[in-house]
Structure 1
Amino acid sequence: MAHMRWHLEDMDFSRIDTARLRDRDDLFLLVCSASFIESGSSIYTRNLVDYFADDAEISEWLIDHWEPEELQHGRALKAYVQHVWPEFNWDCAYADLVAEYAKLCTADALEPTRGQEMVARCIVEMGTTTYYQALNAVCDEPVLRDLTWRIRTDEVQHYKHFYHYFLQYQQQENLHRLQVIAVLWHRVAELRQSDADIALRHAVAWRFRDSKQPPTFDAMSKQVYALIRPEYPMQLAVRMALKPLQLNASLQRRAERPLAAIARLLLLNERFNIGSSR
């Protein structure tokens, strides 16, 4: 196993200020749904490993670095949920999610070429990087802030690796900019209807499972959205999304701000979702 930047044992969950969080349904849903997505990493890693089976460098990195770090994110977030909300039946909620999610997470969801799949991976890592940065900004509990920034740092490194592999396959496949744009458009559009929606739905269902008058999924997703939208780093998201287009540096800088404004209207008009993992 390769060296990891941090370990679950580095986290001292006994330091969590639970009083700040016990009644915060919005933060619970953000942390819990993220724990579900990260814990499901092994499901979609298999598809990627099979897709890149004859590329030793990539398949070894996926197995030895990417998957272990993603699963560690899931374990850490699960531990946090169980420490602050011990009454929540995380295992049963996750089992329900996997039963639905595994049917959607198939090799058919991968892009038609390896270079295009690396573009898709960049968008996924953009989504997770910006999600954890936003979550870090809206929470004031020190242990959660520490954890979300550690995960955010990992996701940035994952993005860099996928971008590096994209450049390799771009040359091999002679990918044109229009092909890259097609993947970007497809994947960015999915951020509004991603598998994260499934995770959030199961988190809501199990959080209010025993309530006499449980809130609706739409009501809770709006509450979560209202919390995180002001802190979502849209300009960073646009910068990371545009990078595979390899635009002139001056052109990209001029494009970032107006595109970020448009993207905020289009992508965050209804609700916020963590990026799809598939």
Structure 2
Amino acid sequence: MQADTIDITTLPWRVEDIDFSRINYTAVRASEELMLLLCASSFIESGSDLYTKNLVNYFGEDAEVAEWLSLHWEHEELQHGRALKTYINHVWPQFDWELAFANFFAEYSKICTVDEFEKTRALEMVARCVVETGTATLYRAINECSNEPVLKEITNHIRTDEVRHYKYFFKYFKKYNEIEKNGRWAVLCALVRRLFEIRNDDTEIALRHVLAIRYPEQAGNSAHARQMSARVNKLVRRHLSADMCLKMLLKPLDLPPRIQPSVHYPLAKLTQHLFFR
């Protein structure tokens, strides 16, 4: 958790330049589900330094990739966490963010390991593309489900960052796949494996710890957790862009136009089931 060490000279935008006095508190506080989602998202972004460490260990022999991860990707992801945390502290000051995040990180740090990575570098880059697809799609949905101007500014910045990150991971996938020569089937399998992992992704862990602090009287009540999670998912699902998501997911497969329709439909159904459940 190295948020205080961010090198702002590498950042495409800065939290310090956001005018939080412009927040329309009524607009954002009207949705409990949105507040829960923002808190959960802030936890994941704020733990990005751990994930960066794992990625650098995995790709460390490649100076180009390791440098981009350490000097750019990590700092931008941590800034996402700082921006969301600052926003939450303004609109929801009674929420104990520090305690909830500490509880989340204690659990998250035990499961965020290199053991979960794909067996080859190219296929791990495919998995990274899936993750960036999910985050870009999520922040676009949050941006569209709220009219609060400061939140829209923040989520637009984050969405833009995530799309750019996707492009880097895709570039590095092509670089490694020139060496590994993974066929479309291997790439598709890696893509689908990461899609299935989304069901047990970090967001569910983060949301559980948000709920534990927000509703201490319901701590340990799995039925309540499922109910609130379903409400959050419903909010996001109404604003998700399936077309954008599928376009990003299909890109690593490099499918000829005549084959795309046969893959598009089953992947669309799977993505709808996992991303948009």
Matched, 1:78 2:85: yes
Q: Specify which of 262, 266, 270 is matched with residue 263 of structure 1.
A: 270
Q: Specify which of 140, 150, 154 is matched with residue 143 of structure 1.
A: 150
- After TM superposition, the structure 1 stretch with the greater mean CA deviation from structure 2, 82-91 or 15-24, is 15-24
Deviation at 1:259, TM superposition (A): 4.5
How far apart, in 1, do the equivalents of 2:272 and 2:71 lie?
39
Residue matched to 1:225? 233
Q: Specify which of 221, 230, 244 is matched with residue 252 of structure 2.
A: 244
Residue matched to 2:96? 89
Residue matched to 2:65? 58
Deviation at 1:266, TM superposition (A): 2.0
Q: What does residue range 12-23 of structure 1 map to in structure 2 within 5 Å?
A: 12-23=19-30
Deviation at 1:263, TM superposition (A): 3.3
Relative distance call for 1:263 and 1:180 in structure 2 (3 A) is same
How far apart, in 2, do the equivalents of 1:74 and 1:246 lie?
33
Deviation at 1:258, TM superposition (A): 3.2
- After TM superposition, the structure 1 stretch with the greater mean CA deviation from structure 2, 227-236 or 142-151, is 227-236
- After TM superposition, the structure 1 stretch with the greater mean CA deviation from structure 2, 203-212 or 103-112, is 203-212
- The share of aligned pairs that are identical, in percent, is 47
Aligned residues of 2:130 and 2:249 also touching (Cα < 8 A): yes
Aligned residues of 1:235 and 1:256 also touching (Cα < 8 A): no
Residue matched to 2:185? 178
How far apart, in 2, do the equivalents of 1:168 and 1:257 lie?
25
Residue matched to 1:109? 116
- What amino acid maps onto 2:15 in structure 1? L
Matched, 1:167 2:174: yes
Aligned residues of 1:234 and 1:263 also touching (Cα < 8 A): no
Residue matched to 2:4? none
The root-mean-square deviation of aligned C-alpha atoms, in Å, is: 2.0
Matched, 1:152 2:166: no
The one-character-per-residue Cα deviations of 1:133-170 (angstroms, maximum 9, x if unpaired) are: 11111111111011101100000000000000000000
Query: Secondary structure of the residue that 2:105 maps to in structure 1?
Result: helix
- What amino acid maps onto 2:248 in structure 1? M
Q: Give the ranges of 4+ consecutive aligned residues of structure 1 lying more than 3 Å apart after TM superposition.
A: 249-252, 254-261
Matched, 1:196 2:206: no
Question: Which structure 1 segments of 5+ residues have no match?
Answer: 272-278
Deviation at 1:209, TM superposition (A): 2.0
Relative distance call for 1:231 and 1:168 in structure 2 (3 A) is same
Aligned residues of 2:135 and 2:159 also touching (Cα < 8 A): yes
How far apart, in 2, do the equivalents of 1:256 and 1:228 lie?
25
- What amino acid maps onto 2:27 in structure 1? R
How far apart, in 2, do the equivalents of 1:137 and 1:260 lie?
24
How far apart, in 2, do the equivalents of 1:233 and 1:260 lie?
14
Relative distance call for 1:103 and 1:225 in structure 2 (3 A) is same
Q: Specify which of 235, 243, 265 is matched with residue 235 of structure 1.
A: 243
> Aligned residue pairs: how many?
268
How far apart, in 1, do the equivalents of 2:249 and 2:269 lie?
14
Q: Specify which of 26, 29, 50 is matched with residue 43 of structure 1.
A: 50
- What amino acid maps onto 2:103 in structure 1? D
Deviation at 1:177, TM superposition (A): 1.5
Residue matched to 2:132? 125
Query: Secondary structure of the residue that 2:216 maps to in structure 1?
Result: coil
Question: Which structure 2 segments of 5+ residues have no match?
Answer: 1-6
Aligned residues of 1:36 and 1:94 also touching (Cα < 8 A): yes
Matched, 1:99 2:125: no
The one-character-per-residue Cα deviations of 1:113-132 (angstroms, maximum 9, x if unpaired) are: 11111011100100100000
How far apart, in 2, do the equivalents of 1:105 and 1:257 lie?
31
- After TM superposition, the structure 1 stretch with the greater mean CA deviation from structure 2, 39-48 or 234-243, is 234-243
The one-character-per-residue Cα deviations of 1:204-248 (angstroms, maximum 9, x if unpaired) are: 111112679x88111111111221112111121111111111112
